[in-house]
Amino acid sequence: MILLLVLFLLFNVSISEAQIITNEVVTSETVTSEPNPFGRVIIKHPTPDITVYYPDPELTPGVVDEKVTQDNLKETICVSGFTATERVNQTSTFKKQVFERYGIDWSLHKQFEDDHFLSLEDGGKDGDLNNRWPQYYCPKATAGKTCFGAREKDVCETNLHKRICDGKMTLKEAQEIIITDWFMEYLRIKRIDSLLSRPISSTDSE
């Protein structure tokens, strides 16, 4: 009788251990089988329901165009058509490098803008990977409401460009705004006061 009890207990323990091991394997495979589509793009949440996209500062700290200075604005970025002459690296090969650095599959590139972190119209440099990153296009239904990405950043950049050329702020001030937090400036431009008073927490995309 005792022998039967011992065999019964050993048999059940073996089954439990097998089930635990199996569950661990399945869980591990589930986690690693789906790559993160946003790669190293940084995601921040002012509130749980709002998402804002930023570049990884290690990959894209932002680079200024040394040809553009406070003294020559009227001959450079404030001249209509100037930025078109500065776009020297718009080939698919270069753009693929931008996506590769961030670990984003090129097949998803239509969902992103190959963005200059410091825009050309605000004195940023083209042709430097340290100033380029894949900026997500928010879906139209949520863009500017609960999702803030490429098109919203463009609004901020254009507004800053006008203020630079109107003499309302310096080139350096505008560039620091973008690098520090373009989203907060977007909120000021759009006068979205309800979010301006809330602290922004950040989490790396997982």
Retrieve residue 108's tokens.
């998803």
Q: Please state, in angstroms and rounded to a whole number, the distance separating the CA atoms of residues 153 and 128.
A: 19
If asked whether residues 4 and 81 sit together in one domain, one would say no
If asked whether residues 96 and 7 sit together in one domain, one would say no
If asked whether residues 18 and 70 sit together in one domain, one would say no
- Whether residue 3 has pLDDT greater than 50: no
Mean pLDDT within 189-199: 74
If asked whether residues 177 and 98 sit together in one domain, one would say yes
Backbone torsions φ then ψ of 54, nearest 5 degrees? -135, 155
Amino acid making up residue 4: L
If asked whether residues 87 and 115 sit together in one domain, one would say yes
% the chain with pLDDT above 90:
67
- Whether residue 205 has pLDDT greater than 90: no
Q: Encode pLDDT of 61-81 as tens digits.
A: 999 999 999 999 999 999 999
Identify whether the C-beta of residue 160 lies closer than 8 Å to the C-beta of residue 169: yes
Q: Which domain covers residue 170, as residue numbers?
A: 42-204
Q: Encode pLDDT of 41-50 as tens digits.
A: 999 998 889 9
If asked whether residues 58 and 101 sit together in one domain, one would say yes
Q: How many domains does the chain have?
A: 2
If asked whether residues 105 and 195 sit together in one domain, one would say yes
Amino acid making up residue 188: R
